[in-house]
Chain A
């Protein structure tokens, strides 16, 4: 098993938190948009494209978390 230093470990935890924060935020936003979107599709099935687009909008939050995580790991030399 590889042993990593304390600074790398803290960096890895930080990267994990960055992803987790983005994922939780995205999840909360998508739950509301998803249920509203399904309501729209039930009434107007032709609006599925728009509903899907709105559903994926908040994923940007997760992407930012991911980018921060990558930057942390790059600067800590983990990857």
Chain B
């Protein structure tokens, strides 16, 4: 329950002539985390077709991106050379790229047409023919500039006495178009560079003839382009119907072949054999050995290696609890040689979260929001996994809400049960604070016990004993406080507990060395769990205040009712968001800081088997 899967490091020696099929065998089994072999032999290298596979994969992936998505039928995996032959001969890929190139060219042309149409619009009604703007002795330029700047601009040009002709046309409230005709040898560029106007491109080959002729051409050509774009869309759709499925199959097969080809760089080799090293879960090793022996006809040899290396971490848990593992990984993966505390996190986080929310209404709303997020997000992403944890924890919030008799701040238990629940704002505060302290003492004690086990296993005897003395300090200290302040024990027991706590503290300081400063944490960390009361209390008080001030009633008319209802909903929503955020953050924090700091090292390496999750092909 608290252990990661035991691992064995193995070395596989097999005939080089059978390498591709043995790699495929290992890939299909997906049980070995292959590492770079450390044996002093020649390095192996990827197969010769690695480059070709890579290029084909890029080509197929690119083609698939251009096709509309279609359902994919599964296909049987092809052998490398057959796959390369099939993909290389798949003529439709070139047709797809050709259609895409045509589409890109038409889009470019359309952009130029739009720009030319706009320029023609500026010149409409000016009497200018674009064909006449080609001359050996004259130059023509047009600019866009703010209307307010036209006179300054013209003044500067007239002062330079370089213009032969000019047209000013206001094209909007604030902007004007300025057309200039001047002798080619006129010194105009110096004046223009000082004024920084926006030049209109008159060199487009589309600008031929009168502005209205250009506009007609632009409209006609754009319509033709629109038609052709529709045609291309149709052709790509048709290609998608026939090619999407096989191309998806090929992409997956190419990815698999590339993985298989690339893994050789971790191998070593001799003239006749190749050597693979890696980690295999102990439980699966015998079956793997038997299967490999049968597959190779007894020509392979699996040797179990004795090593000091830290094995990778593999945890096995029911699928619906995987999001908790995801959060653990997000924080830090447990090392394979230490206790895996995920089960404690799985149990305690929903309790802390539920206790801090303690409202049936907020719990139900959390459940709905979390469910919506899980449906809208990617299963592999952080949001999905956080939402799944939130979803499971919302059930606890509903349960604690019932125990606290809180329904959006209202008390409703009396309508269906005689159980009136905890009174957070009155008589139950004492009990709740003791309960949260009990949570704290239990979890910190468990953390110290785990710390003892971890250190004992690693041979750190002194630190292991200091964890036990720390545990004694926490437990005896708690008993002494309970006896002194809450009269939980007779004075004799209280005094004995206090004395033992003092002795434990001295022993802890003596044993911990530089870590003795952590002693204060043994007091503050259990106390830190009272935040469960603090955040729960704040949430409940705020919801009661909202109910007191803004519960809508019809006594002052429908308008008042509607107004109060909106405020009521908005404020409860804000309080709920605040409570949920604090519930999640504080629930995680109590585990990761107060609990884990007593024993957890983390930074484990995830078990990463050589495998591929097939989606559109079969082995």
Interface residues of A, Cβ cutoff 8 Å to B: 49-50, 52-53, 56-57, 59-60, 62-64, 66-67, 70, 74, 79
Assess whether A63 is in contact with B530, with CB atoms less than 8 Å apart. yes
**Nearest residue, chain B, Cβ from A48:** B382
Question: Can you add 4 more A-B contacts, CB < 8 Å, to A53-B585, A66-B530, A67-B530?
Answer: A53-B589, A56-B589, A60-B524, A70-B433
Q: Does B430 contact A (CB under 8 A)?
A: yes
Assess whether A49 is in contact with B429, with CB atoms less than 8 Å apart. no
Complex Cα distance A66/B531, Å?
A: 8
Q: Chain B 320-347, CB within 8 Å of chain A: the 1/0 string?
A: 0000000000110000000000000000
Which of these, B425, B527, B593, contacts A64 with CB under 8 Å?
Answer: B527
Instruction: Specify which chain A residues have a CB less than 8 angstroms from the CB of B524 in the assembled complex.
Output: 60, 64
Instruction: Specify which chain B residues have a CB less than 8 angstroms from the CB of A79 in the assembled complex.
Output: 425-426, 429
Interface pairs A-B: 9 shortest CB-CB? A63-B531, A66-B534, A67-B530, A49-B330, A60-B528, A56-B585, A56-B589, A63-B534, A79-B429
Which of these, A49, A63, A74, contacts B430 with CB under 8 Å?
Answer: A74
Instruction: Specify which chain A residues have a CB less than 8 angstroms from the CB of B464 in the assembled complex.
Output: none
Cβ of A79 to closest chain B Cβ, rounded Å: 6
Complex Cα distance A70/B433, Å?
A: 9
**Nearest residue, chain A, Cβ from B330:** A49
Which of these, B426, B528, B585, B593, contacts A63 with CB under 8 Å?
Answer: B528
| Contact of A57 with B593 at beta-carbon distance under 8 Å, contacts A49-B331, A63-B530 already known | yes
Instruction: Specify which chain B residues have a CB less than 8 angstroms from the CB of A70 in the assembled complex.
Output: 429, 433, 533
Assess whether A53 is in contact with B527, with CB atoms less than 8 Å apart. no
Cβ of B313 to closest chain A Cβ, rounded Å: 18
Assess whether A53 is in contact with B592, with CB atoms less than 8 Å apart. yes
Q: Chain B 530-551, CB within 8 Å of chain A: the 1/0 string?
A: 1101100000000000000000
Q: Does B586 contact A (CB under 8 A)?
A: yes
| Sample (26) of A-B pairs whose CB atoms are under 8 Å apart | A49-B331, A53-B331, A53-B589, A53-B592, A53-B593, A56-B585, A56-B589, A59-B531, A60-B528, A60-B531, A63-B527, A63-B530, A63-B531, A63-B534, A64-B524, A64-B527, A66-B530, A66-B531, A66-B534, A67-B433, A67-B527, A67-B534, A70-B433, A70-B533, A79-B426, A79-B429
**Nearest residue, chain A, Cβ from B592:** A53
Interface residues of B, Cβ cutoff 8 Å to A: 330-331, 425-426, 429-430, 433, 524, 527-528, 530-531, 533-534, 585-586, 588-589, 592-593
Complex Cα distance A52/B429, Å?
A: 29
Cβ of B587 to closest chain A Cβ, rounded Å: 11
Complex Cα distance A52/B586, Å?
A: 10
Instruction: Specify which chain A residues have a CB less than 8 angstroms from the CB of B425 in the assembled complex.
Output: 79
**Nearest residue, chain B, Cβ from A50:** B331
Instruction: Specify which chain A residues have a CB less than 8 angstroms from the CB of B330 in the assembled complex.
Output: 49
Complex Cα distance A60/B526, Å?
A: 11
**Nearest residue, chain A, Cβ from B386:** A49
Complex Cα distance A28/B474, Å?
A: 30
Instruction: Specify which chain A residues have a CB less than 8 angstroms from the CB of B531 in the assembled complex.
Output: 59-60, 63, 66
Cβ of A55 to closest chain B Cβ, rounded Å: 8
Instruction: Specify which chain A residues have a CB less than 8 angstroms from the CB of B585 in the assembled complex.
Output: 52-53, 56
Complex Cα distance A56/B533, Å?
A: 16
Instruction: Specify which chain B residues have a CB less than 8 angstroms from the CB of A63 in the assembled complex.
Output: 527-528, 530-531, 534
Instruction: Specify which chain B residues have a CB less than 8 angstroms from the CB of A53 in the assembled complex.
Output: 331, 585, 588-589, 592-593
Cβ of B385 to closest chain A Cβ, rounded Å: 12
**Nearest residue, chain A, Cβ from B332:** A50
**Nearest residue, chain A, Cβ from B430:** A74
**Nearest residue, chain B, Cβ from A59:** B531
Instruction: Specify which chain A residues have a CB less than 8 angstroms from the CB of B530 in the assembled complex.
Output: 63, 66-67
Cβ of B538 to closest chain A Cβ, rounded Å: 9
Instruction: Specify which chain A residues have a CB less than 8 angstroms from the CB of B429 in the assembled complex.
Output: 70, 74, 79
Instruction: Specify which chain B residues have a CB less than 8 angstroms from the CB of A60 in the assembled complex.
Output: 524, 528, 531
Instruction: Specify which chain B residues have a CB less than 8 angstroms from the CB of A57 in the assembled complex.
Output: 589, 593
**Nearest residue, chain B, Cβ from A64:** B527
Instruction: Specify which chain A residues have a CB less than 8 angstroms from the CB of B534 in the assembled complex.
Output: 62-63, 66-67
Complex Cα distance A64/B429, Å?
A: 16
Instruction: Specify which chain B residues have a CB less than 8 angstroms from the CB of A49 in the assembled complex.
Output: 330-331
Cβ of B78 to closest chain A Cβ, rounded Å: 38
Complex Cα distance A57/B589, Å?
A: 8
Complex Cα distance A62/B585, Å?
A: 15
Complex Cα distance A70/B426, Å?
A: 11
Cβ of A65 to closest chain B Cβ, rounded Å: 9
Instruction: Specify which chain A residues have a CB less than 8 angstroms from the CB of B592 in the assembled complex.
Output: 53
Complex Cα distance A59/B529, Å?
A: 12
Instruction: Specify which chain B residues have a CB less than 8 angstroms from the CB of A67 in the assembled complex.
Output: 433, 527, 530, 534
**Nearest residue, chain B, Cβ from A65:** B534
**Nearest residue, chain A, Cβ from B525:** A60
Complex Cα distance A35/B593, Å?
A: 21
**Nearest residue, chain A, Cβ from B585:** A56
Complex Cα distance A57/B590, Å?
A: 10
Complex Cα distance A64/B588, Å?
A: 19
Cβ of A29 to closest chain B Cβ, rounded Å: 15
Instruction: Specify which chain A residues have a CB less than 8 angstroms from the CB of B433 in the assembled complex.
Output: 67, 70
**Nearest residue, chain A, Cβ from B531:** A63
Instruction: Specify which chain A residues have a CB less than 8 angstroms from the CB of B586 in the assembled complex.
Output: 56, 59
Complex Cα distance A74/B588, Å?
A: 29
Cβ of A61 to closest chain B Cβ, rounded Å: 10
Complex Cα distance A57/B525, Å?
A: 11
**Nearest residue, chain B, Cβ from A63:** B531
Cβ of A46 to closest chain B Cβ, rounded Å: 9
User: Which of B425, B533, B589 has the most chain A CB atoms inside 10 A of its CB?
Assistant: B589
User: Which of A59, A63, A74 has the most chain B CB atoms inside 10 A of its CB?
Assistant: A63
